[in-house]
Structure 1
Amino acid sequence: MRLPFFPPDLFEGDREHLLRLVHEIGTAPSQKFILGEHTARLEQALCEQLGAADVVACGSGTSALTLVLAAMEIGPGDEVVVPAFGCAPLAGAIVSLGAVPVFADVDPRTMVVDPADMERRITARTKALMPAHIFSVMADMPRIAAVAERHGLRLVEDSAVAQGGELAGIPAGLSGEAGVFSFVQVKTFGMAGEGGVVVTRNAELGRLVRMLRNHGQDGKNRFLHHRIGWNSRFDELQAAFQLHRLPGLADRLERRARIAAHYTERFAELTAHGVVAPPPGREGRCYYVYTLLAERRDALRAHLAERGVGSHAYYPLPLPRQPAFACYARPGDAWPAAERAADRALSIPVYPHLRDTDVEYIAAAVREFALVDARG
């Protein structure tokens, strides 16, 4: 691929710094490789940047979701309403605690969960709502927060892909009681390994998550376990690397947003030709990936590949159609917008070190498919 979907040289510019960190941390007298001073500094830096009450670094974005739900004491007999279209951890974290995921349909244009459908699926057993931001659009957190308040439910924000996004003046992750970010390498604040954080305005919830990530220990008394917990501790090398990359995050996010704006402008006329771009603007946007809805998705993917452009079709099945979660689907239930999204969604490159000429080349290739190919 001339322009791969995710570049293999994502951290090339930071190679020397990363190698220095490996040596410094590996030879430091403290020999502290997890949950040390670098992790604490990263948590504090993100806490100040977001205006959160607490930020807790964890082993992955997936485990961050599990820890938040566990801290809320969600378990057997409880239901959590989630989007029907999205990443497996949305349902997997719930199931791992013995609770039941209830699937709500999504908006047919943005592919984020429909707040009205979430509310329709609330029952006497519902304990929490867990919306997710997806691709380049944030879920409608003000409306979902209102639903949660009306019904007295907990609200967890799966903001794994949305770090840097903001909606109604609130950063992604902080509209609910807690949110999560993922640092896996392809995310907006990706790193050379696994990791994530829980972000929260609730200091007590943060304290519980901090305890659960380290086998239920409180950090003061080692080998004193207050609750059953997990091993979801953060790596010191990765924390130091993220501290190094944090000052450049705003510029990288800005570049992603500008690339997305160019795409959206160039694709505005393609709706009538079966290729739909995300809604324009920056409010409630998080350009982790840029995702089109294409009537002939597989043909568009092949067309781009012929021109050396990588693309990716996420989530080929809605969650309740996945073998792992099909048993939680209610008889006769349907998710038409999620089914359609699974058949049509195709993501194209939007990473920040694409050159302007690369961006226009990709845009032109999509336009060629929609316009020239449509005319035969």
Structure 2
Amino acid sequence: MTATVEHAVPFFAPDLFEADRDVLLELLYEVGTCPDQKFILGGRTACFEEALRAETRAADAVACSSGTSALTLILAAMGIGPGDEVVVPAFGCAPLASTVLASGARPVFADIDPVRLTMDPAGAEALVTERTRALMPAHMFSVMADMPRLRDVADRAGLRLVEDSALAQGGALEGRPAGLWGDAGVHSFVQVKVFGMPGEGGVVLTDDTELGERVRMLRNHGQDGRNRFLHHHVGHNSRFDEVMAAFQLHRMAGLPARVARRTEICSYYSERLGDLADAGITAPGVGGDGRFPYVYTLLCEDRDGLRAHLEAEGITTHVYYPRILPDQPAFAPHASPDGHWPQAREAARLNISLPLYPHLTDAQVERVADNVRAFARRRTG
């Protein structure tokens, strides 16, 4: 029997910003009636950038229109273009490849670590050639990439390190926040992210103030911010919205509590599901350095069976990246014909993510775990 709507556990929270609805409407009115009529890149955006700098301890934080745009701006600011290569993971989101291609450079796909599901440092190093300009690892699901080793590879090879930390706000490794291991990193604020908002947005984080200044110009058509209509570079339109800046400033005070609740749910899932290897289900461990609570992902040999079982109980799951980047029609022509990505293919075949958002109730979280365990019992008899 299928669960009723009242007892459903959706994957994406349908009431994500319900508690802040009135505040959002008030801010919309405030910005819309403000005498300066500044709707983008105004004082609220500047305050939001300052708050992000304080939170991450970055030298510069440049708000822009999306996480994808943030990667685009970084590559442009680094001067990466035609004839260059950027090593990216074979498993992950499309912007890892598309932003490189949009710059005129070529993405070179590296296999992943089978536990972290992030770019394997040794595999990445083996792909470095005289054309390589940068490594661009991405933190995946709820585990940061092995940034100390990747930082070492980049430094020894004289490469830039671009850190796709779009998912990882709230994460830290060896005491360093996600986004600050690379020469530049990014966060995304699309609604389902850890610090999501009801719209698109992102930020570039860097300790290289010269790089930050170039990004700041490039996001606004190459202007320097002091002399409008003086264009130093061929830039982009990647500007941040003042209403969203005000809304994120309002919600920042509650971010630690939301991260803590997400972390609590992750820990509960791992405690309940960590012993299911005999049923072909592998869960991430409890806690650990370099973790962040974005998406809780299992690896399951019978993924379709588990999805169908949970769906029948009213629990919606999600499969991220069921096809590796080198197999995507858009990117396959640029992939090495003799490329070999066995761990990435396994991750694409096995991954399945469970509901994870701050206002899941304890009862809902327990029901998700109970039903995963019920499926495992059915498989093992």
Q: TM-score normalised by the shorter chain: which range applies?
A: over 0.9
Cα deviations across residues 100-125 of structure 1 (Å, max 9, x unaligned)?
00000011122111111111111110
For 2:26 and 2:288, the matched residues in 1 are separated by 37
1:264, 1:277 within 8 Å by CA — same for their partners in 2? yes
Instruction: Classify the secondary structure of the residue corresponding to 1:269.
Output: coil
Q: Please tell me whether the aligned partners of residues 252 and 352 of structure 1 are also in contact (alpha carbons under 8 angstroms).
A: yes
Give the corresponding residue for 2:95. 89
Partner of 1:114: 120
Report the CA distance between 1:280 and its aligned residue: 2.5
The answer as to whether partners of 1:257 and 1:282 remain within 8 angstroms in 2 is no
Alignment-derived partner of residue 207 in structure 2: 201
Does residue 308 in structure 1 map to residue 314 in structure 2?
A: yes
Q: Give me the whole-angstrom Cα distance separating, in 1, the residues matched to 2:377 and 2:164.
A: 37
Distance (Å, rounded) in 2 between the aligned partners of 1:60 and 1:188: 14
Whether the aligned pair in 2 keeps the contact of 1:184 and 1:195 (CA below 8 Å) is yes
TM-score, normalisation: structure 2: 0.97
Post-superposition Cα deviations, 1:74-93, rounded to whole Å, max 9, x if no partner, equal 00000000100000001110
Letter in 1 for 2:170: G
* 8 Å CA contact 2:274, 2:284 repeated in 1: no
The CA deviation string for residues 24-73 of structure 1, in whole angstroms up to 9 with x for no partner, is: 11111111100001100000001011111000000000000000010000
Does residue 1:356 correspond to 2:362, yes or no? yes
The aligned residue for residue 179 of structure 1 is 185
Instruction: Name the structure 1 match of 2:375.
Output: 369
4+ runs deviating over 3 angstroms: none
Please report how far the alpha carbon of residue 169 of structure 1 lies from its aligned counterpart in structure 2 after TM superposition: 0.7
Cα offset, 1:331, TM superposition: 1.7
Amino acid at match of 1:298: D
Is the partner of 2:254 in helix, strand or coil?
helix
Is 2:297–2:351's contact at 8 Å kept on the other side of the alignment? yes
C-alpha displacement of 1:227? 0.4
Q: Secondary structure at the match of 2:199?
A: coil
- Deviation (angstroms), 1:373: 3.5
Amino acid at match of 1:371: R
- Report deviation, 1:350: 1.2
Alpha-carbon deviation of 1:154? 0.3
* SS of residue in 1 equivalent to 2:130: coil
* Structure 2 stretches lacking a partner, 5+ long: none
Tell me, in whole angstroms, the C-alpha distance in 1 between the residues paired with 2:61 and 2:338: 41
Report what 1:297 is aligned to. 303
Instruction: State the match for 1:131 in structure 2.
Output: 137
The CA distance in 2 between the partners of 1:258 and 1:190, in whole Å, is 19
**Does structure 2 conserve the Cα–Cα contact (< 8 Å) formed by 1:110 and 1:279?**
no
- In the TM superposition, what whole-angstrom CA distance separates every residue of 1:287-339 from its partner, at most 9, and x where no partner exists? 11100000011111111110111110011100000000001111221100111
Mapped to 2, the partners of 1:225 and 1:131 lie a distance apart of 32
Which residue does 1:339 correspond to in 2? 345
Q: What is the Cα deviation at residue 351 of structure 1?
A: 0.4
Alignment of 1:160 with 2:166, yes or no, is yes
Instruction: Map residues 207-356 of structure 1 onto 2, 5 A cutoff.
Output: 207-356=213-362
What is the CA–CA distance in structure 2 between the aligned matches of 1:288 and 1:221, rounded to whole Å? 40
By how many angstroms is 1:281 displaced? 1.6
Cα distance in structure 1, aligned partners of 2:148 and 2:286: 19
CA distance in 2, matches of 1:350, 1:178: 28
CA distance in 2, matches of 1:12, 1:331: 49
Count residues with an aligned counterpart.
Answer: 375
Contact 1:217 1:225 in 2 (8 A): yes
> How far did residue 372 of structure 1 move?
2.8
The aligned residue for residue 17 of structure 1 is 23
Contact 2:63 2:204 (8 Å CA) reproduced = yes
Which of residues 69, 72, 91 in structure 2 aligns to 1:66? 72
User: Using a 3 Å threshold, how does the CA distance of structure 1 residues 191 and 349 change in structure 2: closer, same or farther?
Assistant: same
The alpha-carbon distance between structure 1 residues 282 and 250, as it changes in their structure 2 partners (threshold 3 A), is: farther
Letter in 1 for 2:302: R
Corresponding position of 2:110: 104
d(CA) in 1 for partners of 2:175, 2:126: 27
Give, in angstroms, the shift of residue 282 of structure 1: 3.4
Is the Cα–Cα contact under 8 Å of residues 61 and 183 in structure 1 kept in the other structure? yes
SS at match of 1:6: coil
1:50 aligned residue:
56
- Aligned with 1:181: secondary structure? strand
Which residue of 142, 149, 152 corresponds with 1:143? 149
Taking the aligned partners of 2:357 and 2:300, their CA distance within structure 1 comes to 21
CA RMSD across the alignment:
0.8
Amino acid at match of 2:59: A
Deviation sequence 1:113-153 (CA, Å, 0-9, x none): 11111111111100000000010110000010000011010
